[in-house]
Structure 1
Amino acid sequence: MPEGHSVHRIARQFDRNYVGRVVAASSPQGRFVEGADVLSGRTATAVKAVGKQMFLEFDDDLWLRVHLGMYGAWDFSGEIEVDPTIASANGRMGQTNQRGTALETPILDGAGENSLTSIGAPRRARVHVRMSEQTTGLADDEDEWPPPVVGQVRLRLLTDVTCADLRGPTACQLQTPDEVAATIAKLGPDPLVDDITEGEERFTTVVRRKPTAIGQLLMDQTVVSGIGNVYRAEMLFRARQNPHTPGRDVSADVIRHLWRDWVQLLSIGVETGQMMTMDDLEPDAYRAAMANRDDRHWVYHRAGLPCRVCGTAIVVEEMATRKLYWCPYCQR
């Protein structure tokens, strides 16, 4: 499932490439025809991400709400002006390390988690990208435009030079400003949207009154926004917290640590495009981790393998229908 960092990256791409431009909308799949007809010909005026949901505003106070869910992704093609806050010196997204030092050689993982062309559920890039003049120049004029529709595209948003195709979302709907406000009001704090200090207090207060296991609370979008299965497992390990402990029994210090860790990890995820959860790696180890997700996590997807700290076999179990990875010794 795409987690919060991916949705914030998507929103920044829409801000750079769509806001202020007239958009032609269509639904090649046929499941959002009426909504696309309403959007088509309007100007995108603003965009924001909260947790795992993106809200794209058009003129006349019309909003498009998109929740990628388990399998959704946006595929971008055409001229892409990259957000400089998440691009390295060579203009490609996902190539700066957690300390902001540009890497000389692009490092892209095989699943395309930090891909410029497809942001969301990991997949191989389907479409060709022509970087804008602000990055690496334009492709040949012979490129087909608009690009052909490939697969099941719920919504295509097209400007004169940029195309964004939405595939497999859980939600794709039009909302009024009041409906957007109501949707956001139900969500927990997001470190990139809410005041960090106020978010910490809100998160701590909610968790400390819940009898629900902390491993479930971190995935509850009404408690905290943006955390998915990978970040959940990694944050709990980094805090050495047993995932089964009821929220009300977790110390306030640990809860605050979890929030502050989320602030840090979300920032790294937006910058690099990857869920990098291991700290203080040597340069070679860091490059390996950027290229291969198996080298960038403490416990996630490591069932049966020895814990990187204590050597105990990492276990995997089901918690609220999702796989939970944890170390029974370090997190006892």
Structure 2
Amino acid sequence: MPEGHTLHRLARRQQRVFAGQQVHVTSPQGRFLDGADAVDGMVFARAEAWGKHLIQHFRPAHAAAGARAGRRMIHVHLGLYGAFTEAPVPMDAPVGQVRMRMEGTRVGVDLRAPTACELFTPADLDELIARLGPDPLRPDADPTRAVSAIGRSRRPIAALMMDQKVIAGIGNVYRAELLFRASMNPYREGRAVSTDSVEAMWEDLTALMRVGVRRGRIHVVRPEDDHGPGSYAPDRPRTYVYRRAGEACRVCGTTIRVAELEGRNLYWCPTCQP
């Protein structure tokens, strides 16, 4: 599943290629017909991300840029299999199950296999934001909410890091690598982690995710450790522990371990994360 940096990068890309343009929106697959009809012909106002959620904002073509009347929103959650593909306009005939097609002046996108693609009201957006933790990539993020939630919990810190109600946007890669970089045992209870440690992890996470937005890849290995065996996939940078079970730790040489925690694989070094 794409992690938060991917959604912020996607929002920025759509902002660049569609903002201010009147767009043609359809649902070739037929599963989003009403939503596509509701925004077809409107102006793409902006795109933003909240954790792993993408919100597209539209305004009537005749309305001033700052007017709020008649605005519409589409909420997209890519889930495990969802993806946008981009092509120049005019686009070729849709291939496969395209939930939504949006065409601007020069560029169009097809959305396939999302977990969610739906019209949103302001109340829907408020409800979404209320159930999400702070997003490190948003300038309005309040890390004290995450610090407080972790400090009250008996759950393992590794489980809390994946809970979108605690911090929005973290996935399995950032979770594993952040805890390694913090020398944090993944099974330590949240309430046993000091406030200073949580705040330091928040700062590290924010910096790492900003790198992810800029580069389009998750870069987590410090320069002095960026050597040895390659990454877990040919097109990915090296990781410390993620998908490296059975391999030697890049720092201490201990065998990396893996276990299941709340339905997801957890990777860690028992020496570096005592």
Match for 1:73: what amino acid? Answer: A
- Match 1:74 to one of 75, 84, 104: 84
Partner of 1:224: 167
1:163 has 2:108 as partner = yes
CA shift, 1:34, in A, is: 1.6
The runs of 5 or more residues in structure 1 that have no matched partner are 80-144
Question: What CA distance in whole angstroms lies between the structure 2 residues aligned with 1:169 and 1:266?
Answer: 23
Question: What CA distance in whole angstroms lies between the structure 1 residues aligned with 2:81 and 2:172?
Answer: 14
Question: What CA distance in whole angstroms lies between the structure 1 residues aligned with 2:58 and 2:18?
Answer: 10
- Match 2:156 to one of 200, 209, 213: 213
Partner of 2:66: none
Partner of 2:190: 247
Q: 1:250 to 1:152 in 2, by over 3 A?
A: same
Partner of 1:234: 177
Question: What CA distance in whole angstroms lies between the structure 2 residues aligned with 1:66 and 1:179?
Answer: 13
Question: What CA distance in whole angstroms lies between the structure 2 residues aligned with 1:214 and 1:179?
Answer: 30
Partner of 2:219: 276
Match for 2:101: what amino acid? Answer: R
Task: Say whether the 8 Å CA contact 1:208–1:250 is kept in structure 2.
Answer: yes
State the secondary structure of the residue aligned to 1:47: strand
Question: What CA distance in whole angstroms lies between the structure 2 residues aligned with 1:191 and 1:176?
Answer: 24
Partner of 1:183: 128
Question: What CA distance in whole angstroms lies between the structure 2 residues aligned with 1:246 and 1:302?
Answer: 24
Partner of 1:260: 203
Question: What CA distance in whole angstroms lies between the structure 1 residues aligned with 2:140 and 2:123?
Answer: 22
Give TM-score scaled by structure 1 length. Answer: 0.75
1:50 has 2:53 as partner = no
Task: Say whether the 8 Å CA contact 2:218–2:237 is kept in structure 1.
Answer: no
Runs of 4+ more than 2 Å apart:
291-295
CA shift, 1:174, in A, is: 0.4
Question: Which structure is higher in RCO with an 8 Å CA cutoff and minimum separation 6?
Answer: 1
CA shift, 1:4, in A, is: 0.5
State the secondary structure of the residue aligned to 1:44: strand
Match for 2:7: what amino acid? Answer: V
Q: 1:209 to 1:293 in 2, by over 3 A?
A: farther
Question: What CA distance in whole angstroms lies between the structure 2 residues aligned with 1:224 and 1:71?
Answer: 22
CA shift, 1:322, in A, is: 1.0
The runs of 5 or more residues in structure 2 that have no matched partner are 60-69
State the secondary structure of the residue aligned to 2:260: strand
Match for 2:270: what amino acid? Answer: P
CA shift, 1:294, in A, is: 5.7
State the secondary structure of the residue aligned to 1:174: strand
State the secondary structure of the residue aligned to 1:46: strand
Give TM-score scaled by structure 2 length. Answer: 0.90
Task: Say whether the 8 Å CA contact 1:61–1:176 is kept in structure 2.
Answer: no
